[in-house]
Amino acid sequence: MSLLSLTDVHSFYGHIHALKGISLTVEEGEIVTLIGSNGAGKSTTLRTVSGLMHPGSGRVEFDGRDISRMEPHAIVAAGLGHVPEGRGIFPTLTVRENLEMGAFTVRDPEAVRERMAYGFELFPRLKERIDQHGGTLSGGEQQMLAIARGLMMQPRLLMLDEPSMGLAPVLVELIFDIVTMLNDKGVTILLVEQNALMALSVAHRGYVLQNGELVLNDTAANLRRDPLVRTAYLGMA
């Protein structure tokens, strides 16, 4: 049984048919990437999985449970974390408060402290800025905070939406190193990226999305060699 599976998922924004029958799986322990151009439906896919929107038809299953109609808070509590595009941190709350919000169902204050300490171990810069408001952090620090917050519920599967967007190359490297390290520690990852080169360098497998439909599905190594991927997403001849 796959940890996550989508079966013939269709999603809509009013009359806009954004996902036109998506079927994909993520196995426990994998890093799977979903690549595609702007507007392909990558964020919509993650939003449909995390319950921010519900599929018009089709099925989303996590750990053997149908989560297609579940609300976002229940899906997070079930072990599925989502770090949204644009980070989604609370600009008027401090780093500490943002992290506390990430652990909203955790009653034990000691557990919250331990998880926060783990986030600071991953991203020491956040610790130095613990009382600073989220909105005053740099783009890279906001991405670190968004990831650390996504980890506060100790997800089995973490979905990251364009974590490298707008970051300087050295920070892109750092974020991808953290993704690999989290995966080594047992967190399954579904990574959405326009930066296909980076994504395919850390992922085990990938899917290519075009206009709401999956057009390719292969190992990352094969996708890196694929002519369509090379011309359309890697900018190579």
Ligand X SMILES: Nc1ncnc2c1ncn2[C@@H]1O[C@H](COP(=O)(O)OP(=O)(O)O)[C@@H](O)[C@H]1O
| Positions in the binding site for Mg ion (CB under 5 A) | 42-43, 85
In whole angstroms, the minimum distance from the beta carbon of 162 to ligand X comes to 8
Residue 155 touches which member of Mg ion, ligand X, none, C-beta under 5-8 Å by kind: none
Q: Which two tokens stand for residue 104?
A: 């909203």
Separation between Cα atoms, residue 234 and residue 237, nearest integer Å: 9
Distances (CA, A) of 70 to 19, 40, 82, 157, 234: 19, 24, 15, 16, 36
Report what 149 binds from ligand X, Mg ion, none; CB cut-off 5-8 Å by kind: none
**Count of residues engaged in binding ligand X, rule: CB under 6 A:** 11
Q: Where are the alpha helices (DSSP H) in the chain?
A: 42-49, 72-77, 95-102, 109-122, 124-128, 139-151, 169-184, 196-202, 220-225, 227-232
Choose the one of ligand X, Mg ion, none that binds residue 38, judging by a C-beta under 5 to 8 angstroms depending on kind: ligand X
> Could you say which of ligand X, Mg ion, none residue 39 binds, taking C-beta under 5 to 8 angstroms by partner kind?
ligand X
Quote the CA–CA distance of 82 and 175 in Å, as a whole number.
15
Helix orientation angle between 139-151 and 109-122, rounded to the nearest 10 degrees:
140
Is 91 an interacting residue with respect to ligand X (CB under 6 A)? no
**Least distance CB 237 / ligand X (angstroms):** 25
Residue closer to ligand X by CB (options 116, 189) is: 189
Per CB under 6 A, which of residues 35..74 are in contact with ligand X? 36, 38-44
C-beta of 134 vs 163, nearer to Mg ion: 163
Q: How far apart are the first and last CA of the chain?
A: 39
**Nearest distance from C-beta of residue 226 to Mg ion, angstroms:** 22
Please select the residue that binds ligand X; options are 1, 16, 170, 237, rule is CB under 6 A. Answer: 16
Phi/psi of residue 97, nearest 5 degrees: -65, -40
Interacting residues toward ligand X by CB under 6 A: 13, 16, 18, 36, 38-44
